[in-house]
Amino acid sequence: MPLWLFVFLAALAVLAALGVVLQRNPVHCLMALVVVLLDLAVMFIGLGAVTVGFLQAIVYVGAIMVLFLFVIWLLNLQTEERRVAGSIGLRFFGAVGAAALVAELCVFVVKAPSTAGLSHVPPTFGSIGAIAEALFTDYLIAFEATSLLLLVAVIGAVALARRATASRTRSPVPVSPAVHEQIGARQ
């Protein structure tokens, strides 16, 4: 990836990330987050991790962010009001945390290892074949354990949703048998 492209993408990512934090309308924040994620996907592709880049676009932008949009609509979130910030203690700990994070980043940048001695990655790096081979040989157990975890989460979500609907069918308002018959006849 040429340097000018990296600088452009990095600046765009930072701007969009600021947009996520600073805007007040939740849908605008979400769209800024979509820009950040797409920006990262382009960076992955530019750095040779083509498959990871596309998967980032499919999974995060194409699916997860749409679910976020759903949640915003279902909860009917409005533009947040700018209130006076919380207690002094909260502000103090916030400042300390932010300072610690900045210090950590500075240490990381200063102590970053030099790239001089590193060899180039093989041309197959980042191709879907190389990723699949790594996933299904060296990292097979981790991969399968993760799939199991996700499967459990999916089944759990379905079970929770089912229980909620089952309890709702016992309607709190008594319904006369005649109405039940009518509904049954219509179905």
Partner 1 sequence: MAVDLVIAAIRAVVMLLLVLNLSAILLWFERKGSALIQDRIGANRAAILGVGARLGLPNLGIVNTLLADPIKMFTKEDFVPAGADHFLHGLAPFLALFPVLVTFAVIPIGDTVTIGAHTFDLVAADFNDAALYVLASIGIGVYGIALGGWASNNRWALLGGIRASAQMISYEIAMGLAIVAVVATYGTLSLQAIVREQGGVWFGWLPRWGIILQPIAFLLLFTAGMAESKRVPFDLPESESELVAGYFTEYSGGKQAVFMLTDFAEVALVAMLVTTFFFGGWQVPWLYRDGFHLPGGALVSIPYWAVVVLGVVAFWIKTIFFCWLQILIRWTLPRFRYDQLMRFGWKLLVPIGLLNLIVTAVVVVMAGS
Which residues lie near partner 1 (CB under 8 A)?
25, 27-28, 31, 34, 38, 41, 50-51, 54-55, 57-58, 61-63, 66-67, 69-70, 73, 127-128
Distance, in Å, from the CA atom of 76 to the CA atom of 83, rounded to the nearest integer, reads 20
Distant-in-sequence, close-in-space partners of 130: CB < 8 Å, separation ≥ 6: 122, 124
Closest approach of partner 1 to the CB of residue 70, in Å: 7
111 versus 168: smaller Cβ distance to partner 1 = 168
Q: Is 159 left (phi over 0), alpha (psi -120 to 50) or beta?
A: alpha
64 versus 101: smaller Cβ distance to partner 1 = 64
Torsion of Cα atoms, 68 then 71 then 76 then 80, to 10°:
-40
17 versus 52: smaller Cβ distance to partner 1 = 52
Closest approach of partner 1 to the CB of residue 62, in Å: 2
17 versus 23: smaller Cβ distance to partner 1 = 23
Closest approach of partner 1 to the CB of residue 146, in Å: 19
Closest approach of partner 1 to the CB of residue 50, in Å: 5
Distance, in Å, from the CA atom of 105 to the CA atom of 14, rounded to the nearest integer, reads 15
What is the distance in angstroms between the CA of the first residue and the CA of the last residue of the chain?
61
Name the DSSP letter for residue 125. T
